[in-house]
Structure 1
Amino acid sequence: MAASSPPTQDSNLRGMAVSSISLITFAVGANVVFLRIYVRMKRRVIGWDDYTICVALALSLLGTVADVYQVANGAGRHIDTLTPAQLSEFIKWTFVEGVEFVIGTCFVKISVCGFILRFISKARWNMRYFIYILMGFLIVSTLSLVTALLAQCRPLKALYILDIKGKCYSKNVSIAIAYVQAAINVCTDFICAGLPFFVIRNLQMKRSLKIGLSIIMGLGIFTACFSVLRIGFLYTNYSTDVTYDNLVNVVCAVLELNLGIIAASIATIRPLFVNLGPMVRVSSDNIEAPYSSNRPYVRNLKASKAGRKPTGILLNRMGITKTTNTKISQDFQEASEERGW
């Protein structure tokens, strides 16, 4: 007895859930990026890491539009319930989202690398070279993957227009490209998420502030987790009921990109939530060094009669650090100036 086809669906709750997740996470990311640009422009320290995250946000907007059109053309429904026109539109917008996702995640990671470079002094050339090599690898691998996606059918319209005959990749080649892209994403996600820990630990600041910044900047680990999870659902791209089975994969991709944008930007808006006024008040009788509000500085307190070392208080726009060394580290000084903190 032949199996009956799935019944026609009056509502598409699965698809609506995907659209909602995409719209909400994009809206949150857009607001965080807006605040980031506001802070950077206010402090006049805007840089190319800010511009690249704006490009990533624009690509995320394109992905959100693609998600909405996919749902409007049957994503979340069984493929047997779709018309040929709906299936064609679904495939087209799935392709658009795939290309957008590859380029968007690349720009997010380049922005993260640019932000981390603000912390590193030029003397630490080995770390800086490693980050430049990582960015070069991201650019080359992204261009290669995008080229592979654009070349999967000749002509490309044969991919989504069912009436056009063309020469396309075999199923095995398409699966291999998908897994290579996912593997690159996982590796680079974890590298970008781990880099801040190696940089922050060398900065001269309070331990509690180091921990807080490490947690904030380490939010990229959640992005990497979604990247790993997405690998487990790549097989749904080639399901016989792809419009119904592929939604989990789509959700993972949406969260990976949009949470990556949020994680890459949230550390930059910290100045909005801290007191930017004087961090500490010291009696003028105990101050030997003049105060400068434009850059980090050290107030040297007079040594006590007991012969102890002079104790310094490192004041900056991020917090207060007590130190027995009145010389500010080159890393921290340059990082504070460049970040405008």
Structure 2
Amino acid sequence: MDTVDNGGRSQAILIVTAIFLGISLVAVCLRCFVRTRLVRAFGWDDIVMVVAMVLNLAFAICGIIGAKNGMGRKLAHFVTSPPTIGAENFRRALLCWWLGQVFYVTTCVVAKISIIITLLRITVDRVHAWILYAALYLATAVGLLFFFFTIFQCHPVNLFWNRLSERGTCVDTQILIDIAYVYSVGTAVTDLTIALLPIALIWNLRMKRRTKAAVAGILGIGCLASAAVIVRIPFVKHYQDKEFLYNTYQISIWSNVEAGLGITAGSLTTLRPLGRFFKGGSSGSHSHSQNRTSYPLSSSMERGGYRANSKRGDQERGHKIWAGSEVDDYHGVTTTIMSSHRPNPSSSEEDLNPKDDRWRMRD
């Protein structure tokens, strides 16, 4: 047994899992604080992101318990353990791996749905909306494909972790590897789309360049999640290795990085009001002038172009979502994003929350 097998890879899984769980959990907690207490605009995208965080927590627990029981170790580790203990640890490690992959794919897909809902609320161009819907369908399709193949790769299902005692059949490993490649490529394309498209969405906003660069940089963090998927691809081939638990530790690590970064990137875009909060600002102290500035976070199709609905009541709430308050680089500015078609002149101020109840919660 080489020295690397003395818990080194298991320890790496534990450390990476704990770090990215902590980062994503803090980001989501701050998001909930901002959206419920500061801007008071908790919407469906926030609810979906909280669900993603719960799934990510389950994914992390699987990784931690799995690493404690042998994920990242060679078969020799289980053989040299007392027979009963070694067999039980092997079973638990495989079960945690299987459950972890199930929670991994659901975490990533749900997080992407939350981010796409948010982006759809600031999209006023029809082409951008189509791109986002295509990304949504692609992420869901490849996610469901990977999800069902992961669950039903063996018959009976528990044969995957009870392979020492159960009898049954499993899908050819090469098929699983091909499915994993399809999922990885589809996920990388989706991540890059939802990471880079927001830069185009805010490009024409009348912000200071410094603020625009900061917002674009935060939104661009999603590119790192895409990078994690790409880095993960070369290790997919290890699904068929005899030393499965030992050689797939990189898959576990990069899966945690991807899930954690995706949730964090999706939450950081909502945290701008925290700056004013910690400086002693109050979202309520400037409510008298918030209606002078608005930013589109909702959209609908109209004959004259792809533009947001106008509604005075939602205007103030929408401004809070994007800018937090008027004490910002947007002070006193009425912003209109122009699409390829000229919008109705009567709607120079667009509201940030859609009229459609499907996308937001009512107070």
Q: Compute the TM-score of the two structures, normalised by the length of structure 2.
A: 0.76
**Where does residue 155 of structure 2 map in the other structure?**
154
The structural deviation recorded for 1:108 is 1.2
The 1-side partners of 2:9 and 2:128 are apart by 45
Asked whether the 8 Å contact 1:119–1:335 carries over to 2, the reply is: no
The answer on 1:92 being equivalent to 2:101 is: no
SS at 2:257 equivalent: helix
**Where does residue 336 of structure 2 map in the other structure?**
329
Structure 1: which amino acid aligns with 2:336? S
**Where does residue 253 of structure 2 map in the other structure?**
251
The answer on 1:15 being equivalent to 2:10 is: yes
**Where does residue 136 of structure 1 map in the other structure?**
137
Could you list the per-position Cα deviations for residues 5-46 of structure 1 after superposition, in whole angstroms to 9, with x for gaps in the alignment? x27999523212211221121112111101101111122211
The answer on 1:320 being equivalent to 2:329 is: yes
The 1-side partners of 2:162 and 2:218 are apart by 45
The 1-side partners of 2:280 and 2:291 are apart by 13
**Where does residue 313 of structure 2 map in the other structure?**
none
Give the 3 Å change call, closer, same or farther, for CA 190–12 of structure 1 in structure 2.
same
The structural deviation recorded for 1:97 is 0.8
SS at 1:268 equivalent: coil
Asked whether the 8 Å contact 2:229–2:255 carries over to 1, the reply is: yes
Asked whether the 8 Å contact 2:293–2:326 carries over to 1, the reply is: no
Structure 2: which amino acid aligns with 1:229? V
**Where does residue 25 of structure 1 map in the other structure?**
20
The 1-side partners of 2:27 and 2:90 are apart by 35
The 2-side partners of 1:149 and 1:205 are apart by 46
The unaligned stretches of length 5 or more in structure 1 are 1-5, 279-290, 299-314
Give the 3 Å change call, closer, same or farther, for CA 336–8 of structure 1 in structure 2.
closer
Which deviates more, 269-278 or 199-208? 269-278
Give the 3 Å change call, closer, same or farther, for CA 9–176 of structure 1 in structure 2.
closer
The structural deviation recorded for 1:168 is 1.0
Structure 1: which amino acid aligns with 2:71? A
SS at 1:46 equivalent: coil
After TM superposition, the structure 1 = structure 2 runs for residues 1-341 of structure 1, keeping only pairs within 5 Å, are: 6=1, 11-42=6-37, 43-82=39-78, 83-121=86-124, 124-162=125-163, 163-274=165-276, 292-297=288-293, 317=326, 319-320=328-329, 328-329=335-336, 333-334=349-350
The 2-side partners of 1:44 and 1:230 are apart by 38
The 1-side partners of 2:127 and 2:327 are apart by 27
Give the 3 Å change call, closer, same or farther, for CA 84–267 of structure 1 in structure 2.
same
Q: Whose Rg is larger? A: 1
Asked whether the 8 Å contact 1:116–1:196 carries over to 2, the reply is: yes
The 2-side partners of 1:296 and 1:259 are apart by 35
**Where does residue 342 of structure 2 map in the other structure?**
none
**Where does residue 288 of structure 1 map in the other structure?**
none
Asked whether the 8 Å contact 1:78–1:241 carries over to 2, the reply is: yes
The 2-side partners of 1:16 and 1:264 are apart by 28
Structure 2: which amino acid aligns with 1:74? G
Question: Once the two structures are aligned, what percentage of the paired residues are identical?
Answer: 25
Q: Compute the TM-score of the two structures, normalised by the length of structure 1.
A: 0.80
Asked whether the 8 Å contact 2:142–2:182 carries over to 1, the reply is: no
Give the 3 Å change call, closer, same or farther, for CA 196–276 of structure 1 in structure 2.
farther
The 1-side partners of 2:218 and 2:189 are apart by 20
Provide the aligned C-alpha RMSD in A: 2.9
The unaligned stretches of length 5 or more in structure 2 are 79-85, 295-323, 339-347, 355-359
SS at 1:269 equivalent: coil
Asked whether the 8 Å contact 2:222–2:265 carries over to 1, the reply is: yes
Asked whether the 8 Å contact 2:102–2:150 carries over to 1, the reply is: yes
Give the 3 Å change call, closer, same or farther, for CA 333–233 of structure 1 in structure 2.
farther
The structural deviation recorded for 1:316 is 5.9
Asked whether the 8 Å contact 1:8–1:81 carries over to 2, the reply is: no
Asked whether the 8 Å contact 2:204–2:337 carries over to 1, the reply is: no
